[in-house]
């Protein structure tokens, strides 16, 4: 590692431009390299200003992730396709020789977490402090000695965008602890599991592992959650920059507030269908058994539950097919399946609007307007948990300006974000 001063000088001299380009300049533009370099310099300087570190330091990145295929399949132990994106949390961190972790996230109050007592604290639920404490606790449980550090963090991951800012934060922390306390011994999958543990046990959110895997592993990742403790993770070797399409995440400016019941109902209703067969998740129910029981299931669970189960089976299969199409370089087949997934989410899963607020239908509106703008090109679907929030579109590059202008004419300037699937997950960027 280098001192902050040496790291800053190396960054300014362009010594780390190649590493930065691999993460942030995926459009190939020099302006993107310049912005990435400026941002990295800003983070190093900010650490120096906030904490005055005297020893070595390093730059770390935890990327956001986008769900590509498998909408609401992971909680039924299904299969998903996801990918890391070029929006991330970037930190400069340095060991501080104490038993305290100090974190300054740009725009937020500083955190101080002592490493002596890492028990769960109810008052910290749903806070960043809980995630720091939870990651540290798991690292210690794995047998590694802990030591304190200072970190300054800046983020481009959009809050509430379905890009999973919490997973990015957990991945970032996992990589810092890995470098300073574990000697780099933790692999990306272990870091993802540490993040999930922190979010489940300390933050208080019973999430699956997709978000953390997408952030930590990097690139496009196909994951089979049949064994949740040991998911099968496969990197999908495809260069999205060669597809001729831009990945757009559209923020519909609709709130995720008060949607807990909507999300819970999806899991509950799929679980009710599984329970008919004496199972806890749909993955354990053979498709043929499900189809044979549909008349009885309609009476027992209701039509919506049946439709949501139908979505699970089709989107679980589609996620595997999407991964296969990408591996074969068949992007057109991939786009067709993305559109099919979007249709299934709308018609069967029914997670594009909330029955508790029928006047708010920003997602269906965005999908309809977006489909009109695409005019049979590309692909479009709800993104993430649904009911509000964002949609995802794959837009032909030559038509990107038209699409972006059209969709932002409805939802406002800056609401269409053009992202790239970055090939690298959580990492040490420079040291």
pLDDT tens digits, residue range 310-358?
999 999 999 999 999 999 999 999 999 999 999 999 999 999 999 988 9
Check residue 184 and give its pLDDT: 97
- What is the chain's length? 431
Tell me which H or E stretch contains 152. Answer: strand 149-155
Check residue 259 and give its pLDDT: 79
Over residues 376-420, the pLDDT tens digits come to: 999 999 998 889 889 999 999 999 999 999 999 999 999 999 999
- Residue 285 pLDDT > 90, yes or no? yes
Over residues 63-95, the pLDDT tens digits come to: 999 999 999 998 999 999 999 999 999 999 999
Domain spans in the chain, listed from the N-terminal domain onward:
2-238+423-430, 242-419
Check residue 135 and give its pLDDT: 98
Check residue 255 and give its pLDDT: 66
Residues ≥6 apart with Cβ < 8 Å to 291: none
> Within 223-359, where are the H helices?
260-276, 287-292, 294-301, 303-327, 331-344
Query: In the chain, what percentage of residues exceed pLDDT 90?
Result: 87
For the domain covering 2-238+423-430, report its CATH number: 3.30.230.10
- Return mean pLDDT, the chain: 94
* Mean pLDDT score, 202-225: 89
Token look-up 């030591």 returns 147
This prediction has a pTM of 0.91
Check residue 257 and give its pLDDT: 60
Residues ≥6 apart with Cβ < 8 Å to 101: 111, 112, 113, 115, 132, 136, 148, 149, 150, 151
- Residue 162 pLDDT > 80, yes or no? no
Helices and strands: H and E segment counts in the chain: 14, 13
pLDDT band at 144 (very low <50, low <70, confident <90, very high): very high
pLDDT band at 108 (very low <50, low <70, confident <90, very high): very high
Both tokens assigned to 260? 């807990």
Please tell me the distance from the alpha carbon of residue 48 to that of residue 3, in angstroms, as a whole number.
Answer: 10
* Mean pLDDT score, 198-212: 86
How many CA atoms within 13 Å lie on the side-chain side of 348?
A: 19
Cα-Cα end-to-end distance for the chain = 5
- Residue 170 pLDDT > 80, yes or no? yes
- Pairing label, strands 56-69, 427-430: antiparallel
- Return the CA Rg of the chain: 22
CATH class for the domain made up of 242-419: alpha beta
Query: In the chain, what percentage of residues exceed pLDDT 70?
Result: 99
Closest CA to 96 of 8, 191, 4: 4
- Residue 101 pLDDT > 90, yes or no? yes
Check residue 161 and give its pLDDT: 64
pLDDT band at 205 (very low <50, low <70, confident <90, very high): confident
How does DSSP classify residue 241?
G
Token look-up 């591996």 returns 327
Check residue 160 and give its pLDDT: 63
Please tell me the distance from the alpha carbon of residue 99 to that of residue 299, in angstroms, as a whole number.
Answer: 59
* Mean pLDDT score, 176-200: 95
Is residue 426 classed as helix, strand or coil in its secondary structure? Answer: coil
Check residue 2 and give its pLDDT: 86
């Amino acid at each position: 590692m280098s001192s902050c001063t040496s790291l800053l000088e190396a960054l300014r001299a362009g010594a780390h431009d190649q590493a930065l380009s691999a993460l942030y300049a995926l459009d190939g533009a020099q302006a993107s390299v310049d912005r990435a370099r400026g941002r990295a310099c800003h983070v190093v300087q900010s650490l120096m200003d906030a904490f005055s570190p005297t020893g070595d330091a390093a730059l770390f990145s935890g990327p956001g992730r986008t769900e590509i295929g498998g909408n609401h399949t992971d909680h039924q132990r299904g299969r998903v396709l996801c990918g890391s994106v070029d929006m991330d949390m970037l930190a400069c961190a340095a060991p501080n020789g104490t038993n305290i972790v100090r974190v300054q996230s740009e725009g937020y109050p500083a955190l101080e977490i002592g490493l002596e007592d890492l028990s769960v604290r109810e008052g910290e639920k749903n806070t960043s402090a809980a995630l720091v404490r939870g990651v540290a606790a798991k690292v210690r449980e794995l047998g590694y000695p802990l030591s304190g550090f200072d970190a300054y963090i800046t983020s481009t991951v959009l809050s509430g965008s379905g890009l999973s800012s919490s997973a990015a934060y957990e991945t970032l922390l996992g990589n810092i602890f890995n470098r300073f306390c574990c000697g780099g011994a933790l692999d990306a999958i272990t870091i993802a599991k540490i993040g999930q543990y922190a979010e489940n046990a300390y933050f208080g959110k019973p999430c699956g592992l997709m978000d953390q895997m997408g952030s930590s592993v990097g690139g496009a990742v196909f994951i089979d959650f049949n064994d949740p403790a040991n998911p099968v993770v496969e990197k999908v070797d495809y260069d999205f920059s060669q597809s001729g399409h831009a990945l757009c995440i559209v923020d519909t400016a609709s709130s995720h507030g008060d949607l807990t019941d909507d999300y819970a109902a999806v899991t509950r209703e799929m679980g009710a269908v599984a329970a008919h067969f004496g199972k806890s998740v749909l993955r354990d129910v053979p498709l043929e058994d499900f189809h044979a029981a549909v008349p009885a299931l309609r009476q027992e669970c209701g039509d919506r539950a049946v439709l949501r189960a139908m979505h699970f089976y089709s989107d679980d299969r589609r996620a595997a097919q999407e991964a296969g199409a990408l591996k074969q370089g068949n992007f057109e087949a991939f786009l067709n399946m993305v559109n099919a997934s979007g249709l299934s989410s709308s018609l069967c899963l029914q997670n594009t609007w909330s029955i508790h607020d029928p006047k708010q239908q920003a997602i269906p509106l965005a999908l309809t307007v977006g489909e009109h703008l695409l005019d049979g090109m590309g692909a479009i679907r709800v993104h993430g948990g649904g009911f509000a929030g964002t949609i995802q579109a794959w837009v032909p590059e030559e038509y990107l300006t038209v699409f972006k202008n059209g969709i932002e004419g409805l939802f406002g300037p800056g609401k269409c974000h053009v992202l790239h699937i970055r090939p690298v997950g959580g990492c040490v960027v420079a040291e």
